[in-house]
């Protein structure tokens, strides 16, 4: 029987405070450090590996984390989730994003249908539509092929799909899989939509409107912006637009769209990259075969999250170490640092995934918790970040745990040798050097040049960013966030924190304001 208890009621959690803290600088020095790097590594799917040698853990801490995983029933809670129990307590909903890429357990029925079959059917319809667009069987009003796809959405309808598109764009060009350029409109700031529209051939562009409810203010505003631009060009907007929405939304059966593809209430926006939300734009941009490979990578990584042995379950281990850092070591934030330009927007996606999921101060039953929960997430690709905020990471007053991501090979297979090494070797040299610099530091009598070290990091290492490895990487972080939510006893699948601002904004636009809100409205000329 599963019990949902707050973290601070668990005996194994309290015992972690009694375990001797690891001196990271000492542990990572010399042959001890070399042995840790060889030992503290867990295989992931698609050739990836999670290496946690430079984290502040040792065998004693790991034993404590294993006990915590067992007492918190992490394996059992994941099983309940993928078998269709109501895990989203705030909205009384199932949580089914894993079903978009595979069947982990029992058949899950909701709304009178087999949900796995439902998601597969939507993928099939999207694939058929994309193939017809690529073959020129679906065209614009003049009978000409579409060359650009533009996604209109905000939050999870933008951040995840945009990050995935950018991650695979160069790979697709190199591997003859690039079908259409993709652009994204998300911000209600008119400059966002205008910049995209001025940069594309509108007559040869197809637009994807993504809104589950069909009522999202920012998205519908941007849709009107796009329709106006199409009309000014003498084009019929209904010949240039498709919808990704729920079956019950006003968009579902509207004549304003060439086609509609469906999502449902069981997949939150930030978990929707493997649903129709990501499927439509990625299938149009790269072809449905590439999207299928992406799903296969995610499904393979999901299977590793089933493992009851913490040391063979990379997402669970990553989650446990993160909670240890947040709650026992008291570190307030985490930096995500991909050493791959392809992952330039991946930290932004993980920022929403993590902070919207676990940025909660009440447990899954709506009761206040007496411990800290989700960390602040930020990041930029290396080596750019090294010339930006790494100063604070190395010598600032707060210790910030680091999550590096690195690949042995670039995507384009083009490089140059300068000073006896390639650009890719220089990139990889930097990430290796940073791990050790953060861990071990450097003593100097001049305190301005002194590095204390003891700054923990992990690294996910792979061969190359490709559809399968990207899917596995995405699933790893989704599952990590899920396991951390279980540990903190949170509902990681609602997002009430985004609602209040929306309500107040509608009041401002309706001129139903008083007090400070009215003054701010006047200052902004609303």
Question: Residue 63: which residues within 8 A CB-CB, separation 6 or more?
Answer: none
Greatest Cα pair distance, the chain, in angstroms, is 74
pLDDT score for 501 = 86
Name the active-site residue from 253, 442, 502, 506: 502
Q: Is 349 a catalytic residue?
A: no
Q: What is the pLDDT of residues 88-141, one digit of tens each?
A: 999 999 999 999 999 999 999 999 999 999 999 999 999 999 999 999 999 998
Contact 469, 46 (CB under 8 A): yes
Q: Is 502 a catalytic residue?
A: yes
pLDDT score for 291 = 98
Rounded Cα–Cα distance for residues 266 and 392 (Å): 40
Contact 247, 263 (CB under 8 A): no
Share of the chain above pLDDT 70, in %: 100
Which tokens is 457 given?
């990091």
Rounded Cα–Cα distance for residues 282 and 287 (Å): 7
pLDDT score for 4 = 98
Report DSSP state, residue 449: G
Which string of DSSP letters, residue by residue, matches 433-462?
A: HHHHHHHH-B--SSGGG-B-----EEEEEE
Is the entire prediction scored with pTM above 0.85? yes
Residue 271 sits at φ, ψ, to 5 deg, of -110, 15
Name the active-site residue from 46, 301, 356, 380: 356
- 200, with CB counted inside 10 A (0-12, 13-18, 19+), is middle
The whole-number average pLDDT for the span 435-449 is 97
- Which residue, 343, 317, 239, 296, is CA-closest to 75? 317
Rounded Cα–Cα distance for residues 107 and 76 (Å): 17
Share of the chain above pLDDT 90, in %: 93
Which tokens is 258 given?
């060439």
Rounded Cα–Cα distance for residues 131 and 135 (Å): 6
Q: Is 449 a catalytic residue?
A: no
Q: What is the pLDDT of residues 2-17, one digit of tens each?
A: 999 999 999 999 999 9
342 has a pLDDT exceeding 90: yes
Contact 277, 269 (CB under 8 A): yes
413 has a pLDDT exceeding 90: no
* Contacts for 421-427: CB closer than 8 Å, 24+ residues apart: 427/339, 427/382, 427/383
The whole-number average pLDDT for the span 261-268 is 96
Rounded Cα–Cα distance for residues 396 and 376 (Å): 16
Contact 158, 151 (CB under 8 A): yes
502 has a pLDDT exceeding 90: no
Q: What is the pLDDT of residues 277-321, one digit of tens each?
A: 999 999 999 999 999 999 999 999 999 999 999 999 999 999 999
pLDDT score for 37 = 98
Which tokens is 220 given?
């519908």
Q: Cis bond leading into 305, ω under 30°? A: no
Rounded Cα–Cα distance for residues 307 and 313 (Å): 5
Which string of DSSP letters, residue by residue, matches 27-80?
A: HTSHHHHHHHHHHSEEE-GGG-EEE-TTSS--HHHHHHHHHHHHHTTHHHHHHH
pLDDT score for 160 = 98
Angle of helix 276-286 relative to helix 115-135, nearest 10 degrees?
30
Name the active-site residue from 330, 387, 442, 449: 387
213 has a pLDDT exceeding 90: no
pLDDT score for 500 = 87
Report DSSP state, residue 93: B
Which string of DSSP letters, residue by residue, matches 317-354?
A: HHHHHHHIIIIIS---EEEEEEE-GGGTTHHHHHHHHH
Residue 81: band (very low, low, confident or very high) from pLDDT cuts 50, 70, 90: very high
The whole-number average pLDDT for the span 153-178 is 97
Segment holding 457, helix H or strand E: strand 457-462
- Which residue, 201, 193, 278, 212, is CA-closest to 240? 201
Rounded Cα–Cα distance for residues 454 and 441 (Å): 7
Q: What is the pLDDT of residues 447-500, one digit of tens each?
A: 999 999 999 999 999 999 999 999 999 999 999 999 999 999 999 999 998 888
């Amino acid at each position: 029987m599963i019990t949902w208890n707050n973290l601070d009621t668990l005996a194994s959690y309290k015992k972690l405070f009694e375990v001797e803290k690891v001196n990271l600088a000492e542990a990572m020095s010399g042959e001890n450090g070399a042995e840790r790097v060889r030992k503290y590594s867990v295989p992931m799917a698609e050739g990836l590996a999670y290496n946690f040698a430079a984290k502040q853990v040792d065998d004693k801490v790991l034993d404590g984390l294993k006990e915590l995983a067992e007492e918190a029933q992490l394996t059992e809670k994941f099983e309940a989730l993928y078998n269709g129990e109501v895990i989203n307590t705030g909205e009384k909903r199932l949580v089914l994003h894993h079903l978009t890429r595979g069947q982990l357990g029992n058949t899950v029925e909701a709304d009178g249908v087999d949900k796995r079959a439902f998601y597969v059917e939507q993928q099939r319809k999207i694939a058929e539509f994309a193939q017809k667009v690529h073959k020129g069987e679906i065209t614009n009003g003049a009978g000409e092929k579409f060359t650009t796809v533009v996604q209109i959405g905000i939050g999870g309808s933008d951040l995840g799909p945009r990050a995935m598109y950018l991650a695979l764009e160069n790979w697709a060009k190199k591997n003859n899989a690039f079908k259409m350029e993709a652009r994204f409109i998300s911000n209600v700031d008119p400059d966002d939509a205008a910049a995209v529209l001025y940069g594309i051939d509108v007559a040869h562009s197809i637009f994807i409107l993504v809104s589950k409810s069909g009522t999202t203010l920012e998205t519908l505003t941007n849709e009107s912006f796009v329709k106006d631009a199409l009309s000014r060009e003498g084009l019929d907007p209904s010949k240039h637009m498709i919808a990704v929405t729920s079956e019950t939304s006003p968009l579902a059966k509207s004549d304003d769209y060439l086609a509609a593809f469906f999502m449902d209430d069981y997949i939150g926006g930030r978990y929707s990259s493997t649903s129709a939300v990501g499927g439509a734009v990625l299938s149009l941009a790269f072809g449905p075969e590439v999207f299928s490979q992406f799903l296969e990578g995610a499904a393979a990584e999901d299977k590793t999250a089933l493992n009851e042995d913490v040391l063979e379950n990379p997402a669970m281990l990553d989650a446990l170490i993160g909670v240890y850092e947040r709650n026992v070591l008291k570190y307030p934030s985490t930096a995500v640092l991909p050493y791959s330009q392809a992952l330039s927007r991946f930290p932004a996606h993980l920022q929403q995934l993590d902070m919207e999921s676990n940025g909660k101060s009440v447990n899954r039953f709506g009761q206040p918790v007496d411990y800290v929960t989700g960390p602040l997430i930020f990041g930029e690709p290396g080596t750019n970040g090294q010339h930006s905020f790494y100063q604070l990471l190395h010598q600032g007053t707060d210790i910030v745990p680091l999550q590096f991501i690195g690949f042995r090979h670039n995507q384009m297979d083009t490089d140059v040798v300068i000073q006896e090494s390639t650009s890719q070797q220089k990139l990889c040299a930097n990430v290796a050097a940073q791990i050790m610099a953060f861990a071990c530091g450097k003593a100097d009598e001049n305190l301005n040049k002194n590095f204390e070290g003891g700054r923990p990091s992990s690294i996910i290492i792979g061969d190359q960013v490709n559809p399968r490895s990207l899917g596995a990487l995405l699933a790893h972080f989704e599952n990590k966030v899920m396991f951390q939510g279980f540990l903190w006893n949170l509902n990681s699948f609602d997002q009430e924190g985004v609602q209040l601002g929306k309500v107040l904004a509608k009041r401002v636009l309706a001129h139903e304001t008083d007090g400070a809100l009215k003054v701010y409205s006047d200052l902004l000329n609303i």
